């Protein structure tokens, strides 16, 4: 396993991390807690030191499972969690939940309790659109939480360039979590150059495009109810994406699966600190971990990727 600095912070992370959304059990189909814990244990054995979770993953269940794994080795694991996502940031009357810094602090304290620790290494504002009053509350709260040592570094999870720049208006942004993959290269246009210029760490979610880039899907694939991908087969872009992956499968070889190719592509960008594919089982984790090699991809491989899935 190779390791990288997280931007301008002093934190070093494994370049392949563990994305803990799926193990929450509420968005990716059936998952067994015992297998989830075993997957994280295997990740640590393979040198994966970075685990990313959030308060909304399984309504806190993911954080509770992470707590089981880090309990006896807290200082050996870089833990990130997030607060503030979607419907969870408004009460039934539509009132913003995170409209004051104290509410952001409360959200982190609740996460710390579930994680069984008194600090996290990274704490993210988990958002998808700009909401002014809550944005300012998060910016103020994260600065104080970092100063107190509740979070070693702070950031935002978003794909909105204007929001990133606003969040960094005082230079307090340490890390950005964003979506980036062979099938979604939008971040290359503005966001990644900006983050690289400002020394801001980058955590990539969706490096396998929710499993599409493993090469295991066909236009006839179906997904169970409760899976975030349930409606994918009804979308035209799904068939187009499967066709792109099929064209890239000529790059598979004994030491490189399609999924590993996708992870190596992400890691080839100089702005990236770590990629966090999910893993429900030890076998999936082993597959992901083997993507960390040198060299990553050849010029010929990158050229074909550019032809099949340009920026």
Instruction: Give the closest residue to 5 by CA, choosing from 174, 189, 180, 182.
Output: 174
Query: What is the 8-class DSSP label of residue 87?
Result: G
Closest CA to 171 of 199, 151, 146: 199
Which one is catalytic: 57, 98, 123, 180?
Answer: 57
Reference 162, options 126, 135, 185, 201; nearest CA is 135
DSSP 92: T
Tokens of 259: 């999924």
Sheet holding 78-83, edge to edge: 18-19, 50-52, 78-83, 120-126, 151-157, 175-179, 201-205, 274-275
DSSP characters for 133-179? HHHHHHHHHHHHHHHHTSEEEEEEE---HHHHHHHTTTS---EEEEE
- First-to-last C-alpha distance (Å) of the chain: 28
98 a catalytic residue:
no
Q: Which residues are catalytic?
A: 57
């Amino acid at each position: 396993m190779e390791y990288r600095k997280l931007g301008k912070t002093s934190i070093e992370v494994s370049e392949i991390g563990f994305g803990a959304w799926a193990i929450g059990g509420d968005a990716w189909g059936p998952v067994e807690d015992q297998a989830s814990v075993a997957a994280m244990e295997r990740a640590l054995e393979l040198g994966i030191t970075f685990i990313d979770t959030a308060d909304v993953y399984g309504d806190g269940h993911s954080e509770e499972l992470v707590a089981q794994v880090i309990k006896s080795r807290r200082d050996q694991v870089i833990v990130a969690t997030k607060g503030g996502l979607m419907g969870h940031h408004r009460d039934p009357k539509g009132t913003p939940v995170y409209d004051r810094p104290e509410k952001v602090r409360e959200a982190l304290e609740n996460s710390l309790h579930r994680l069984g620790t008194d600090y996290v290494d990274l704490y993210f504002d988990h958002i998808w659109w700009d909401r002014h009053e809550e944005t300012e509350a998060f910016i103020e709260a994260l600065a104080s939480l970092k100063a107190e040592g509740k979070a070693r570094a702070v950031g935002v999870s978003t794909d909105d360039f204007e929001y990133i720049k606003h969040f960094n208006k005082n230079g307090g942004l340490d890390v950005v979590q964003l979506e980036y993959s062979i099938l979604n290269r939008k971040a290359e246009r503005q966001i990644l150059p900006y983050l690289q210029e400002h020394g801001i760490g980058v955590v990539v979610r969706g490096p396998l495009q929710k499993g599409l880039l493993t090469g295991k899907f066909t236009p006839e694939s179906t997904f169970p109810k409760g899976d975030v991908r349930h409606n994918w087969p009804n979308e035209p872009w799904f068939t187009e994406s499967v066709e792109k992956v099929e064209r890239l499968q000529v790059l598979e070889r004994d030491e490189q699966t399609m999924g590993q190719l996708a992870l190596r592509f992400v890691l080839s960008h100089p702005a990236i600190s770590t990629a966090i594919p999910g893993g429900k089982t030890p076998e999936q984790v082993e597959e992901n971990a083997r993507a960390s090699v040198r060299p990553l991809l050849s010029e010929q491989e990158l050229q074909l990727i550019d032809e099949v899935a340009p920026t």
